[in-house]
Structure 1
Amino acid sequence: MIAVFYQHLATLWPLLEQDRAFKPWLTRLPRRLAEAMDPDSNGHLPRFSEAVVTAQALPQAERVELDMAAITAHGTLNEAQRTQLVAALKKLMPWRKGPYRLFDIFIDTEWRSDAKWDRLVPHLPPLAGKRMLDVGCGSGYHLWRMRGVGAEAVIGIDPTQLFLAQFLLVRNLLGEHPVWFLPLPLEALPEPQGGAFDLVFSMGVLYHRRSPIDHLLELKAQLKPGGTLVLETLVVPQAYGQLLVPQDRYAQMKNVWFIPSVAELSRWLARCGFNNIRCVDETPTTADEQRTTAWTKGQSLSDFLDPADPTRTVEGYPAPLRAIVLAER
């Protein structure tokens, strides 16, 4: 898997060399990536590697669709190849974000990430020819959707090696595209000189950060002047108050620190120097969008809500409400 990872980066370095804004990336990324890909850093790496290498030996798609609900690889596998691919995909369970249709295999992921994309995309500026950064990109589903609407270059970052393996497996089947994955958290990403991206996405990340203001400033540093921040996050209803700080867990998640109202989040963004701040969507999470499937393990949304009152989590807090807020540097 490590070799496959570096092979996929071979087309990224020339892109970075073309823009002086990326000089800090060229200087510092190699060491940080080497540390992130340390073979001893994750005991599951051998299993992940087996899956990725298996996919590398399979035929690539004859045709791909990146603008449909499911990221789709069209083509034909013989029975032995299909068996190999199914086994490889199962080694990378659970599949959280998607869906994907790889040849005739449909991966029904826990999250229907296409629902979020459909809520978001009508409010975005034209994406054709733009450079995009997706922070906390998971398996990379939204990276492919961004490319599907014409993005010039798309980079996703996420420190989770399972998600990297899922991305690399899918990429092997879809073929060469200007889409890359760096296994890094945002705080490990060097700041470009003056910003480098037309759009920066942070979706489902803010409430996991112990310092949300630092997160917003780090996102801003990656944006070009005039670039757009796309922030998708949990919020509390305005009637609840300014801010929810869970006592211990929120919807059974232990790593949730701050859930603001939209008004409070807008104040945070303004304090960080963003302008033209607007909330374009607020949608409660339902079991149509997040649920257990054959490709996931364990519990999902229905297990996190009070069975007697689904407007509350099992801890008694307001049930998940997600907002999309756009702002500009």
Structure 2
Amino acid sequence: MDIEKIKKERQSWLKWKNIAPLREKLKNLPNIEVIEIEFKDIIKIKGEATKEQFLFIKEFALELRPWRKGPFDVFGVFINSEWRSYIKYNLLKPHFNLKEKSVADIGCNNGYYMFRMLEESPKEIVGFDPSPLFKTQFDFINFYIKSDIKYELLGVEHLPFYGKKFDVIFCLGVLYHRSDPIAMLKWLKQGLNENGEVFLDTFYIEGDEPIALCPEKTYSKIPNVHFVPTIKALQNWCKKAGFEYFEILAKKPTTFEEQRKTEWILGESLENFLDKENPDLTVEGYPAPKRVYVKLRKER
């Protein structure tokens, strides 16, 4: 696999007709002195913006919808994302040490988690996500943060061919989108240094048997969900991929506190994905979304 050729080809995606105008506007972002940046639950970029600068930033941020991950506050423009991503990040934070580590975030979206990781003093951070819109959101935020985070328009399937390995890999909310989950887990393993760790989260269903739900068309109105395993099935997948160490960090249902519709997304959110008569079920009649968070290692 020629990664450099793929990367070059995907740079052309930034010229798609729906993306190109956003990339042009990105070049005209106002230069505002950044006084302080807070990498807390709300990533805040502080400075004195004029009224015209504030309106430009707000208008541009709205053009970049939907904002899935966040929230962000850019010179007073509050980007109230669909997901309160700090809930997931704060759940995982006690379980990792990124100091001087080489870190990858697979399916990094607009980079919220990567920006939060900056305070952990990693050696480097590389994000993988094939979405040119999310890349543009990242570039917008990073124009003011000015981090050294590297953003690649690549997917998890490119990880084994990337040319370098990582000490810590985050892969959050990706596994259920893959039609061959064991192959994906193998790719993650191939992307690790010796004694490296993977932090993974995915949908799961209750049950003691090693089985998986295979939605007919959609799951919670999501069209590309292939398998929702029991935790035992997930563990078996990980073993088949070569991960002997499997630690459950947390299990929790998706709540309206964590995911909800705001003006910063276009379309529906969790409230539209669940059965109105029984919120324990999706609109399709499947068990409502629950997530399990696990840590994997190549060796015990």
TM-score, L = length of structure 1: 0.86
Contact 1:235 1:260 in 2 (8 A): yes
Cα separation, 1, equivalents of 2:46 and 2:108: 24
Matched, 1:35 2:9: yes
For the aligned residues, what is the CA RMSD? Answer: 1.7
Deviation string, structure 1 residues 20-59 (Cα, Å, up to 9, x no partner):
xxxx9xxx4432221001158622122321342232x422
Q: Which residue of 2 aligns with 1:168?
A: 139
Q: Which residue of 2 aligns with 1:204?
A: 173
Q: Which residue of 2 aligns with 1:262?
A: 231
Cα separation, 2, equivalents of 1:271 and 1:60: 51
Deviation string, structure 1 residues 193-226 (Cα, Å, up to 9, x no partner):
6x62110111000000011111101111111011
Contact 2:177 2:225 in 1 (8 A): yes
Contact 1:160 1:183 in 2 (8 A): yes
Cα separation, 2, equivalents of 1:279 and 1:54: 46
Q: Which residue of 1 aligns with 2:116?
A: 145
Once the two structures are aligned, what percentage of the paired residues are identical? 33
Matched, 1:158 2:132: no
TM-score, L = length of structure 2: 0.94
Contact 2:42 2:70 in 1 (8 A): yes
Moved segments of 4+, more than 3 Å:
none
How far does residue 188 in structure 1 lie from its aligned partner after superposition? 3.0
Cα separation, 2, equivalents of 1:263 and 1:40: 41
Q: Any idea what SS the aligned residue of 2:224 has?
A: coil
Q: Which residue of 1 aligns with 2:152?
A: 182
Contact 2:160 2:188 in 1 (8 A): no
Cα separation, 2, equivalents of 1:32 and 1:95: 26
Contact 1:266 1:277 in 2 (8 A): yes
Q: Which residue of 2 aligns with 1:317?
A: 286
How far does residue 80 in structure 1 lie from its aligned partner after superposition? 1.2
Q: Which residue of 2 aligns with 1:52?
A: 26
Contact 1:50 1:88 in 2 (8 A): no
Letter in 1 for 2:219: Y
| Partner residue of 1:135 out of 78, 82, 106 | 106
Answer with 163-172 or 94-103: which moved more.
94-103
Unaligned runs of 5+ in 1: 1-23
Unaligned runs of 5+ in 2: none
Contact 2:159 2:190 in 1 (8 A): no
Letter in 2 for 1:54: N
Letter in 1 for 2:7: L
Structure 1 133/262 Cα, relative in aligned 2: closer, same or farther at 3 Å?
same
Q: Any idea what SS the aligned residue of 1:164 has?
A: helix
Structure 1 308/115 Cα, relative in aligned 2: closer, same or farther at 3 Å?
same
Contact 2:14 2:20 in 1 (8 A): no
Matched, 1:86 2:58: yes
